[in-house]
Amino acid sequence: MTENSDVVPAGTETLDVLSSGQGAFGVDGTPDVSGYGGLVRTTHAAPAATRPYGGWYDDAVDTLAQALGDNFGPAVSKVVIAADQLTLEIEREHLLEVMAHLRDHPALRFEMCMGANGVHWPEDTGRELHVHYPMLSMTHNRRLSVEVTCPDDDPHIPSVVGIYPGNDWHERETFDFFGVIFDGHPGLTRIEMPDDWVGHPQRKDYPLGGIPVEYKGATIPPPDDRREYK
Amino acid sequence: MSDDVIYETADEAGSYDTTEGKVFTVSGGDWDQVSGDEGIEQRVVVNMGPQHPSTHGVLRLILELDGETVTQARSGIGYLHTGIEKNMEFRTWTQGVTYVTRMDYLSPIFNETAYCLGVEKLLGITEQIPDRASVIRVMLMELNRIASHLVFLATGGMELGALTAMTFGFREREPVLDVLEAITGLRMNHAYIRPGGLAQDLPDGAEQMVADLLKLLRKRLPDTANLLVGNSIWMSRTEGVGYLDLTGCIALGMTGPVLRSTGYPWDLRKMQPYCGYEDYEFEVATQTTCDAYGRFLIRLEEMQQSMNIVEQCLDKLRPGPVMVEDKKIAWPAQLAIGSDGMGNSLEHIRHIMGQSMEALIHHFKLVTEGFRVPAGQAYVSIEAPRGELGVHVVSDGGTRPYRVHFRDPSFNNLQAVPAMSEGGQVADVVAAVASIDPVMGGVDR
């Protein structure tokens, strides 16, 4: 279960803060005249799921634990079940080992990895960049997700292209947009942006861009510069 | 024109030395005169696209040729990247629909549905979507699938020189778009499916229009089939071309008609039903040829199956709401056609302006601020015409998406171009790419 940011259930104080914001209206750095200027909104990371997970989730996690042996503890940092979906948070050092088991173990058989999508959480200190791998097992008709994080100042994650060749372009895209360097990728180049582009556009510290538009005397600022609800 | 002039033109295009030898950039002329008579080993790299009539929009193919044979093929993308996912982070969840519909512009209804299913999953209202809304979603998706497959036939046929297939394909697609326009207001970029349901109910007479359309399509679709199925020219262009077997498909993450052409009946509508697909009767079309011809036959059959599903939708349509009951999510307005086009219904305007201050506040807050989606992430996927369309939705608990990522089937499937076309002829590259049916709007987003 993931908590709503408005309501913080008991016990979540220990959870990592993913992001926070202040005020209810206006542009960052300008006075908030809505009367809610002191409002603080915090987003916490999803809490670890507790047993029993339900359905086939227990079996799958047990199978993985058995396959990994002593490495299960260091490899799987958290098991999350949110919106009925199972997500395994994996330490990057063990990603390839986990992926190999997920693909090859007869009781797991996640034949396909449907991509690698980045999410940038600038306030999640030490784990700013998250990469999310949706996995599909056609044999068992199941899905789960694998999530790996890396710090902004050491944005390296091992490439899974050796295990899932179809992730080639997906990793290039995540490199292009977030600057995550997938070690061992056969040709990690930009894919959507021009080769000589500077910066990684999907990061939260990269501005949307845009120019003010004037219409009949009124000027409308670009979307990331407007006074709007937060 | 004398020989000297040609030489000069070619020389102007330039040559330069690299570590691997001298590189000539030419756009025409006679090779002997360009290279001089140095007798150097030739390695011809041809750039096909991004502006080329047979590359399905702005796909760039880089082919290394040995005569007519392709020894290496690579695809270059990014020419249609518009930053849709980034833009969505600055709009409300509802406004996001307007963006996603523009990604894969040949299957807008699928983009909208996938996105809305993702948002609804995070909101935890998947079970509360009214039946009527789900039935209409399925009906529109299947109509959209027919329109999309018709464009495959049209452009694919045109690229292989079957121009009549193009005129047939676009001729048949037109009435489908007319029906979509009558229902949603636009031929493309509908923004009709909304988180929680639909923008509005079907207009009067829509069911009859759909029924008439089915009658028309059932009469006309066999035209294309009769033209191409078993046609010896078409077969020799597509049979055994663009070969990719099951192992290759699984390794490269291929889904959709390409995967089903290996004989594996993987269809998310059957395997992991959404929007109530488990209640419809239809067959999953497969072929075992692993080639472009098989994918063509699959798409023909899928159009038939889609028509069957649409027919069942017409039977299932019952009067009822098309939006969730939760007024914190449901768009407050009831749209209607006025003298100045589509807009808020007069009745609704009368209510909020003349009768209820609270309704006005509610309308204003929901439209300007939007609703909040609980923090968390979800990955949902549906069977789009080109394969698995996955949406990864991330919320930080705010009124706007924190991150939305589309796993577009075209993007993934284009990776198979080298596997499908290396070792074949240049003309077969065109057939192989056409059989993937990539839509660059979805690839680049």
Among A136, A148, A175, A230, the strongest candidate for a mutation testing the B interface, having the largest count of B CBs within 10 A, is: A136
d(CA A183, CA A188): 9
pLDDT digits (tens, 9 = 90+) for B173-189: 999 999 999 888 888 89
- Judge if the upstream peptide bond of residue A207 is cis by omega within 30 degrees of 0: no
Secondary structure class of B183 (helix, strand, coil): helix
pLDDT digits (tens, 9 = 90+) for B356-385: 888 888 888 888 888 889 989 999 999 999
In this complex, which of B250, B271, B444 lies closest to A112 when CB atoms are compared? B250
Residues of B in contact with A15 (CB under 8 A): none
For Cα atoms B157, B411, A90, give the angle at the middle one, nearest 5 degrees.
Answer: 155
Largest separation between any pair of C-alpha atoms in chain A: 69
Tell me if A45 sits within 8 A of A16, measured CB to CB. Answer: yes
In this complex, which of A173, A190, A230 lies closest to B398 when CB atoms are compared? A230
pLDDT category of residue A4 using cuts at 50, 70 and 90: very low
Q: What average pLDDT score do residues B312-328 get?
A: 89
d(CA A152, CA A130): 10
B381 in contact with A at a CB cutoff of 8 Å? yes
d(CA B442, CA B376): 25
Instruction: Provide DSSP, B367-408.
Output: HHT-----SEEEEEEEEETTEEEEEEEEE-SSSS-SEEEEE-
Q: What residues of chain B, 396 to 425, have a C-beta less than 8 Å from chain A?
A: 396-399, 402-403, 405, 407, 411-412, 414-415
Give the model's pLDDT for residue B36. Answer: 64
Instruction: Count interface pairs A-B at CB distance under 8 A.
Output: 135
> Does pLDDT of A10 surpass 70?
no
Tell me if B131 sits within 8 A of B325, measured CB to CB. Answer: no
d(CA A107, CA A144): 14
- Print burial letters for B55-75: b (CB count within 10 Å at least 16), e (below 16): bbbbbbbebebeeeebeebeb
pLDDT digits (tens, 9 = 90+) for B184-240: 888 889 989 999 989 888 888 899 999 999 999 999 888 888 888 888 888 998 998
Euclidean distance between the first and the last CA atom of chain B, given in angstroms as a whole number:
46
Residues of A in contact with B411 (CB under 8 A): 169, 173
For Cα atoms B405, A86, A6, give the angle at the middle one, nearest 5 degrees.
Answer: 70
Give the model's pLDDT for residue A171. Answer: 93
d(CA B318, CA B131): 8
Rounded mean pLDDT of chain B?
Answer: 87
Measure in Å the smallest separation between the Cα of A119 and chain B Cα atoms: 7
Q: How many helices (H) and strands (E) does chain A have?
A: 4, 12
Nearest to B148 by CA among B396, B432, B331, B389: B389
In this complex, which of A3, A132, A208 lies closest to B392 when CB atoms are compared? A132
For Cα atoms B94, B98, B101, give the angle at the middle one, nearest 5 degrees.
Answer: 120
Task: Flag whether the pTM goes above 0.80.
Answer: yes
Give the model's pLDDT for residue B11. Answer: 46
In this complex, which of A82, A138, A143 lies closest to B377 when CB atoms are compared? A82
Q: How big is chain B, counted in residues?
A: 445
Residues of B in contact with A208 (CB under 8 A): 86-87, 89-90
For B167, the token pair is 């005129």
Asked if A119 lies within 8 A of B403 by C-beta distance, the reply is yes
Measure in Å the smallest separation between the Cα of B378 and chain A Cα atoms: 7
Euclidean distance between the first and the last CA atom of chain A, given in angstroms as a whole number:
23
d(CA B166, CA B162): 7
Q: What average pLDDT score do residues B116-125 get?
A: 93
Residues of B in contact with A163 (CB under 8 A): none
B155 in contact with A at a CB cutoff of 8 Å? no
Measure in Å the smallest separation between the Cα of B122 and chain A Cα atoms: 6
Measure in Å the smallest separation between the Cα of A176 and chain B Cα atoms: 11
pLDDT digits (tens, 9 = 90+) for A17-74: 888 777 777 777 677 777 777 788 888 888 888 888 888 998 899 898 898 888 888 8
Q: What average pLDDT score do residues A131-151 get?
A: 93
A141 in contact with B at a CB cutoff of 8 Å? yes
Residues of A in contact with B244 (CB under 8 A): none
A2 in contact with B at a CB cutoff of 8 Å? yes
- Judge if the upstream peptide bond of residue B175 is cis by omega within 30 degrees of 0: no
Q: What residues of chain A, 175 to 214, have a C-beta less than 8 Å from chain B?
A: 190-194, 201-202, 208
B379 in contact with A at a CB cutoff of 8 Å? yes
Tell me if B418 sits within 8 A of B71, measured CB to CB. Answer: no
pLDDT category of residue B37 using cuts at 50, 70 and 90: low
pLDDT digits (tens, 9 = 90+) for A153-188: 999 999 999 999 999 999 999 999 999 999 999 989
